[in-house]
Amino acid sequence: MKFKLKIWRQKNAKAKGHFAEFDIDNISPDTSFLEMLDILNNKLISEGKEPIAFDHDCREGICGMCSLYINGRAHGPDEDITTCQLHMRKFKDGDLITVEPWRSAAFPVVKDLVVNRRAFDQILQAGGFVSVNTGGVPDGNAIPIAKSDADESMDASACIGCGACVATCKNGSAMLFVAARVSALAKLPQGRVEAAQRAKAMVAKMDELGFGSCTNTQACQAECPKGISIAHIARLNREFLCAKLKD
């Protein structure tokens, strides 16, 4: 297979970026998208040109670092996958493929397709943890937790913090990410102790960092590689409003 690639190039956060076009051929349909970029970079290096910077780590759909905006979709034209799980068979031979970094004021471009997602770390540092002393490790059944609550907590915990929700949202909102973190702890007894403080702190930090507001377009849910439901956003809103009323 052969493709024409239209890829965003940007030297650093302050430099003006632009699209550059590249032709690549002899690509197997079973090649992953990141492997295709590796092949392109090998070609560029052999020609004495600057390779394209892109983020990656596990390449197993676990870490979410490989986040790319491909042909107008976060992680590309497939469902419930990260970019590293996308294969070239999802495209047609001869296709023009446009590759961009996440577009968000809170995620400044580091270089080319790499963005700084440290804003998510700052939100987690604001309250996405349990700090109170919950005692020693109890026996597995010492604290009864309803299966429905445990299931919801586990579903929310599946969030890998890739930022697809932010990149997809027309407002650049991080509500799905924050809601997943809040839900994961709010449904467990260990997390209830600091529930009110957590919701207020994380929402405040999200607003401070410049993320947009949620208008329930559901685009975040549609493009989330882990299928996180916007029902968690409803829970975050309830937690936040209850905390404010108590104040």
pLDDT computed for residue 140 by the predictor:
63
Q: Which residue stretches of the chain have pLDDT < 50?
A: none
Angle between helical axes of 175-186 and 147-157 (0-180°, round to 10): 140
pLDDT computed for residue 246 by the predictor:
85
Domain ranges of the chain: 3-110, 117-135+142-246
pLDDT computed for residue 131 by the predictor:
86
pLDDT computed for residue 145 by the predictor:
87
162 CB neighbour count, 10 Å cutoff = 26
Q: Which CATH superfamily is 3-110 part of?
A: Beta-grasp domain (3.10.20.30)
**pLDDT tens digits for range 44-91:** 999 999 999 999 999 999 999 999 999 999 999 999 999 999 999 999
Whether pTM exceeds 0.85: yes
What is the SS3 string spanning 180-233? HHHHHHHCCHHHHCCHHHHHHHHHHHHHHCCCECCCCCCHHHHHCCCCCCCHHH
Contact 232, 179 (CB under 8 A): yes
**pLDDT tens digits for range 141-162:** 777 889 999 999 999 999 999 9
The CATH class, in words, for 117-135+142-246 is: mainly alpha
Torsion of CA 51, 54, 59, 65, to 10 degrees: 160
